[in-house]
Amino acid sequence: MASSRASKRRRADQKEVNKEEEEEVVEKEKKNAPVVVFAHGAGAPSTSDWMIRWKDLLAKALDAVEVVTFDYPYISGGKKRAPPKAEKLVQFHSDIVGKIVAKYPEHPLILVGKSMGSRVSCMVAGGEDNGASAVVCLGYPLKGMNGTVRDETLLQLTVPIMFVQFYSMKGSKDGLCPLEKLESVRRKMKSVNELHVIEGGDHSFKIAKKHLQSKGSTQEEAEGTAVQAIAAFVSRFI
């Protein structure tokens, strides 16, 4: 009887040890979970349907501890003003990043941006040392309004960077970032970089129905493939 009770106690003690070990593993995994700062594009705030959907996609794919979105001052509070030059948004963006890093000091930092927000994210990553592990650009605006290729920021970057761009099979290329121009810039970049192309999409990655039908795919599947590619890239650096 005494031997039976002792055996039960040992099993109970072992279960408790196993539980504690599992909790330690979970805690370590949580510490490796990235925190994401996600910047919007020029024309729509962080509350747009597109931003909300991609915030959710990124949170799930990256298993992020938090995906933080925010509004630049020119568009906050329902304002509808033209965006200033990207350089004028860097300090505000950097301040947001600084607060998030202070809140999650043990978590890898990933900077993500939509179009203009991706360009500012690259400027932030290339500026002060905020410890960013990677940058993800959703529709990087490589060309300016006058057609000039704006590659200075990209060529200075040393932080790993992933581009998610679109290409329309109708021949209507992304005027803000022709893939052949981006490829030329990527070859000259110092940082590790990768490209994922969403075929048949527009600058917001909305894919034409005819293209989806021809591929037997859906918008959700295409976006899912894109975020999984992002997750695979990010996992190499956290």
Provide, rounded to the nearest whole percent, the portion of the chain with pLDDT above 70: 83
Does position 14 have pLDDT exceeding 70, yes or no? Answer: no
For residue range 138-185, what is the model confidence (pLDDT) as tens digits?
Answer: 999 998 878 888 999 999 999 999 999 977 655 445 567 888 999 999
> In the chain, where does DSSP find H-type helix?
2-32, 49-62, 90-103, 116-126, 152-156, 179-188, 209-215, 219-235
For residue range 66-88, what is the model confidence (pLDDT) as tens digits?
Answer: 999 999 999 998 877 899 999 99
Does position 130 have pLDDT exceeding 90, yes or no? Answer: no
At 207 the pLDDT is: 77
Residue 11 to residues 5, 8, 16, 23, Cα–Cα distance (Å): 10, 5, 9, 18
| Confidence bin at 50 (pLDDT 50/70/90) | very high
CA 186 from centre of chain: 18
Does position 26 have pLDDT exceeding 90, yes or no? Answer: no
Alpha carbons 37 and 17: distance in angstroms, whole number: 37
| Confidence bin at 20 (pLDDT 50/70/90) | low
How is residue 78 annotated by DSSP? G
- Number of neighbours of residue 134 by Cβ within 10 angstroms: 25
| Confidence bin at 13 (pLDDT 50/70/90) | low
* Residue 176 in tokens: 């803000």
How is residue 81 annotated by DSSP? -
Choose among 97, 33, 49: nearest CA to 70. Answer: 97
At 173 the pLDDT is: 53
Does position 97 have pLDDT exceeding 50, yes or no? Answer: yes
Alpha carbons 16 and 22: distance in angstroms, whole number: 10
Alpha carbons 153 and 107: distance in angstroms, whole number: 25
Average pLDDT of the chain, as a whole number: 87
| Confidence bin at 25 (pLDDT 50/70/90) | very low
